[in-house]
Chains A and B, each alone.
Chain A
Amino acid sequence: MSSTSTPIDDLLRGSLDHCVKCTICETQCPVSNVTPLFPGPKYAGPQAERYRVGDEPSVEWSVDYCSGCGICSQACPQGVKIAEINAQARHKLKRQNGIPLRDRIITRPTWLGRAGTPVAPLANFTLGFKPLRALGEKTLGVHRNGPAPKFAGRRFSKWARGRSGPVSGRRIVYFHGCGTEYYEPWEGQKVVEILEHNGFRVEVPKQDCCGLPLQSSGLFDDARKVVLRLARALAPHVREDPETIIVGNATSCTLMLKREAREILGLEDDLDLKLVSERTYDICELLLLLHDRGELKTDFKPVSERVAYHAPCQQQGHYIGKPALELLALIPGLEVTEMNARCCGIAGTYGLKAEKYDIAMAVGAELFGQVRDSGASTVACDSETCRWQITHGTGLGSVHPIDFLHRAYGL
């Protein structure tokens, strides 16, 4: 246990002095807007932070109810890093109070994935089996109805290794994340095929989790190890050639690499991570940049379908707007409605936790209502956990926006 403050702590803490108590963040917080258990970003963040001194017991517990969605930081006109301050406070709380076994397990998608993949039918049965889920809720605190993904039973990396892509073309490094590796390998295949269609030669380095689930549950030491391991794995692939970038479809994971690991975990000085952070792009961000340069193929065939698009909070944290909307607009016949609600509620693993499930569903209610009102048959959303939650809340199928591009390309 160390209580030494790093420069990044000071930067985050320093930002709280910019708070003018304007309440703008309070109007935006999806959690405090549905539950009195959380007093909101202004109180839990810049206000309570003043009373969190060194390793002294925290005077404020409610910060555990902050989902870490980051919406407050996006809205604050004074640049206060509210969500980041909350993440640090959550870490401290966990350090002082101990970490539930539940958090140690569900924050390890790699362990879960490795354990579940070979026995996917059994694991999926277990996850779908109500009595066992009820037991899991009692013993572990994972809510019985929480949207658990299904193991695909095969791994993306295996598919990637087993094929031969084009031998020439611009090099690009693909960071697929755990969701693609264990649960939705087909998303990764689509990413690769879209990139190849646009003249890239895709490299898939051996890689592991980015550590985000650990970080968002306050398990910072483990998160640091995990994200640095990933940075060591990715950095050599981009170091030599300044033109080579890393692209990912798991938007929360790319955000972790771009910004969160450095800001929240205090890893500003790690050179590998810095390099990876500068070179990482979200897949839709990249495709829109290509389109702007006139380098994106637009040989899209019509797709006649009505889609609701939800930009997940983590995607909004990239501060790049909603590139998916502009890409989807290129597809003839596709009718896209932009959802206005900010958060689906899940926030990674937040909505899986028994004590937070109802809050997450209440947060998501607005989005679920908008989706239903839109008359869409499918929901497009950039984050896998959000897609699972949206499907859980609406009963509609949900896909990454690139699914539509893949279909329209006829790949």
Chain B
Amino acid sequence: MRGELHYDAVVIGAGTAGLVAGARLAESGAHVCVLAKGIGSTHLAPGTIDVLGYAPDRVASPREALSELVAARPDHPYALIGLDTVDHALAWFESCVGAGPLAGYRYVGRFEHNHLLPTAVGALRPSTLVPETMVAGDASAPEPVCVVGSRALRDFHPALCAANLTRAGIAARAVEVDIDVSRADENALGLARRFDDPAWRAGFAARLALKLQADERVGLPAMLGARDPGGAWSDLEHRLGRRVFEIPTLPPSVPGMRLYEILRSALRRAGGRLILGAEVVDAERSGSRVSAVLARTGGHDTRYAAPSFVLAAGGFASGAIELDSRWITHERVLGLPLRGVPAPEQPRFLGDYLAEQPMSRVGVAVDGDLRAEGADNVLVAGAALGGAVPWRELSGEGIALASGFRVAELAGAGAAATTGAAA
């Protein structure tokens, strides 16, 4: 007896890229399994789909800026994905939100336009497809902003946020509202659960209403509901009689958790499996193909065999790519070759922390069809891809979504070709 299962496709990683790839493959009728060591970056990032924010100047239309970027940088992930695919992926994602578990929660945006939304410190962040609950924060809106915080959430400082918004030319002030909490370390998720409760919300709205001025819009940390954010947000707008918007917080990110739920249930609805805790520790190869991966299941490992694999295990942040103490970089999951690694004589890191670090473009080496070098049936998506600098470009979630979408198309076609050949 051997722990062995066969799938049409196995996806490694349950961040945005892996979940999208898994859901799309399952929607195309494939028998799919997503294996993940743990949860991905969704719970940490703002939950917005940032396609391209800076190139290097602030981008107004991601579509236009991307056309230029891919022409200049043929090795950039977006150049390999293709702009039409980005467009299709955005449209698919919107429909996926609509069919998802969070009734009344929507994403809003177009490929041709970036919103400009406040961060927790009052900087303005360009973002393409965003939860409707954030849209009223846009810099172009005429109303002055009232940033609302509470001592209960110690990681959010409304005065700092308001001061920086004012500096950026947006009239803003800060107020605090008392929220009774039983723990000193309450986070946005704990408070979001309260906002799910209509009676509690009504009480909060009543206390806040007393502090607002006539024409203000209200910015709150992103905590307006974990289970029913659509309902919580519109109810609050209604009760306060004005526009209300969420501002992404420090982790844990409530909108990011909603994004995870949306993608996870898309995978489930389409019949895909998700196994959390299953770290891929080894792969079996036959020639230039991977025939199976081994996942740690306690006691004995389980072998997952498939004609195609998607590697969506993230990059340095998730630990899928590492730089060891001897300054050697590895792709730790399947041992695939990397590209973009600075040559030994070149600098790897620069003194300025926020500068574009030479190491930051490192990723799994792929061909024009996102196929890993040396592993013909492994497609790569998300932060595992090199060639981009997501935190400078503000492109991480956009690349994860679009590449996850693209590899599903390619893996589906690859699997069909294999089956066709066998028949």
**A residues engaging B (CB < 8 A)?**
18, 22-24, 26-28, 33, 36, 39, 43, 73-79, 243-245, 255, 257-259, 277-281, 285-286, 288-289, 292-293, 316-322, 326, 338
Cβ contacts A to B, 28 pairs, < 8 Å:
A22-B44, A22-B251, A23-B43, A23-B251, A24-B39, A24-B251, A27-B43, A28-B39, A36-B183, A74-B277, A75-B276, A77-B319, A78-B319, A79-B319, A245-B1, A258-B299, A289-B1, A289-B4, A292-B5, A293-B4, A316-B276, A317-B298, A319-B275, A319-B276, A319-B296, A320-B278, A321-B275, A338-B268
Cβ B299 vs Cβ A77 within 8 A: no
Q: What residues of chain A lie closer than 8 Å to B275, measured between beta carbons?
A: 319-321
Q: Could you say which interface size class chain B belongs to?
A: 35 or more
The docked-state distance in angstroms from the alpha carbon of A314 to that of B251 is 27
B182 to chain A, nearest CB (A): 4
Given contacts A23-B251, A26-B252, A39-B185, is CB(A243)–CB(B1) below 8 Å?
yes
Q: What residues of chain B lie closer than 8 Å to A322, measured between beta carbons?
A: 273
Cβ A278 vs Cβ B299 within 8 A: yes
Given contacts A27-B189, A39-B185, A243-B1, is CB(A320)–CB(B38) below 8 Å?
no
Cβ B39 vs Cβ A292 within 8 A: no
A300 to chain B, nearest CB (A): 19
Q: What residues of chain B lie closer than 8 Å to A76, measured between beta carbons?
A: 38
- Is B297's CB within 8 Å of the partner chain A? yes
Given contacts A257-B299, A321-B33, is CB(A23)–CB(B38) below 8 Å?
no
Our pick among A75, A244, A277, A293 for the contact of B299 (Cβ within 8 Å) is: A277
Given A258-B298, A258-B300, A318-B298, 13 other A-B contacts at CB below 8 A?
A: A22-B43, A24-B38, A26-B187, A33-B193, A39-B183, A77-B319, A78-B38, A78-B319, A79-B319, A281-B1, A319-B296, A320-B302, A321-B275
A262 to chain B, nearest CB (A): 9
B297's nearest neighbour on chain A, judged by CB, is A319
The docked-state distance in angstroms from the alpha carbon of A76 to that of B276 is 10
Q: What residues of chain B lie closer than 8 Å to A278, measured between beta carbons?
A: 299-300
Cβ B277 vs Cβ A319 within 8 A: yes
Cβ A319 vs Cβ B278 within 8 A: yes
Per the 8 Å Cβ criterion, residues 33-48 of B in contact with A are: 33, 37-40, 43-44
Cβ A317 vs Cβ B277 within 8 A: yes
- Is B348's CB within 8 Å of the partner chain A? no
The docked-state distance in angstroms from the alpha carbon of A319 to that of B295 is 9
The docked-state distance in angstroms from the alpha carbon of A175 to that of B154 is 50
- Is B310's CB within 8 Å of the partner chain A? no
A266 to chain B, nearest CB (A): 16
Cβ A73 vs Cβ B300 within 8 A: no
Q: What residues of chain A lie closer than 8 Å to B298, measured between beta carbons?
A: 255, 258-259, 277, 317-319
